[in-house]
Amino acid sequence: MEIEPARPGARARVRAEVTHELLAIAKQHLGIHGAAALSLRAVARDAGMVSSAVYRYFPSRDDLLTALIVDGFEQVAETTARADASVRRNDLRGRWMAIGRAVQAWAIEHPHEYSLIYGTPIPGYAAPEATIVPVQRAAATMVAILSDGVASGAITSQARALSRAEKAALAPVQTAFPDLPPDTLARGLLAWMSLFGMISFELFGHLHNVVDDKAVFFEHELGRLADLVLGTA
C-alpha cells in the first residue's frame, strides 16, 4: 500500500517492517472482532504507537481495509495454487477436490478474513482497483483446470447449448479465456459460486440443525460439483 520502492536503505527497510507489523496486528484484530469493529486506534495501541502515527503508514482506515482485502485474496490465491500443485496434472477431479477443500479449510481457519472478502460488503467502502488482480488470481487456479481439461480433451462441451443471449452474458470472462467453450465456462462458474455458497452456509451457521458432520457432507457435495465441472454429471 505504502511501501516506497526507493532503494532500500535502513529507513525504507524499517518502514516496510513496521507496515507489515501493523498489517499483522490488523489481521489479528480482524480475526477477533470482525471487520466492522476494526479500528485504527486499537491497532495503533497494540503496535505500541500513538494513533496518529499510523497515518504515516496508512492514509486512512479504508486504506488499511484495502490492504487487508488484498491480503485476503492473495491468501486464497496462494492456498488454491498450492493445493492444485499437489495433485497430478491430469487428475482433474483430484485437482478440483483439492482446491475446494483448500478454500474451505482456509475459510474455517480465517472466518473473518473470509467474511471480509466473500461476505457482506463493508458499508461505505468501495473496493479500489488494487483488488482486481488478487481477485483474478484467486479464481485463476480453478479456471486452469477447465483449460487443461479442454486442451486434453477430458472436458467436452456438454449437451445443454447456450443461447446467444447467454453467450453474450458471459462476454467479460469469455474474453479473458477465449479458448474455453461457453458451456464449460458457465459450468465452472456455477460450481465456483456453489462452492462459496456451501462455505458461507456452513460458516454463517445455516447448517445448524440441518447437517451434523459438516466435513463429510462438504466432501460429498464437493464431489457432486466436480461432476458438474467435468461434465460427468
- Pick one of 37, 50, 85, 130: the residue that binds its own copies (CB under 8 A): 37
Angle ∠(13,16,22) on CA atoms, nearest 5: 140
Which three cell numbers mark 189? Answer: 462458474
38 binds, among its own copies, DNA, none (CB under 5 to 8 A by kind): DNA
Per-residue contact string for residues 173-212; x = within reach of its own copies by CB under 8 A? x------------xx-xx--xxxxxx-xx--xxx--xxxx
* CA–CA distance, 150 with 126 (Å, rounded to integer): 36
Q: Where are the beta strands (DSSP E) in 35-176?
A: none
* CA–CA distance, 120 with 123 (Å, rounded to integer): 9
Say whether residue 18 binds DNA (CB under 7 A). yes
| Residues 69 and 131: beta-carbon distance below 8 Å | yes
DSSP, res 154 = S
DSSP, res 49 = S
| Residues 103 and 195: beta-carbon distance below 8 Å | yes
Q: Is the CB of 36 or the CB of 210 nearer to DNA?
A: 36
Say whether residue 16 binds DNA (CB under 7 A). no
- Pick one of 49, 81, 162, 211: the residue that binds DNA (CB under 7 A): 49
- Pick one of 61, 93, 101, 214: the residue that binds DNA (CB under 7 A): 61
| Residues 89 and 148: beta-carbon distance below 8 Å | yes
Say whether residue 224 binds its own copies (CB under 8 A). yes
Provide the binding-site residues for DNA, judged by CB under 7 A. Answer: 4, 9-11, 14-15, 18, 38-42, 48-53, 55-57, 60-62
Provide the binding-site residues for its own copies, judged by CB under 8 A. Answer: 33-37, 115, 118-123, 127, 132, 135, 160, 162-163, 165-166, 168-173, 186-187, 189-190, 193-198, 200-201, 204-206, 209-214, 216-217, 220-221, 224-225, 228, 233
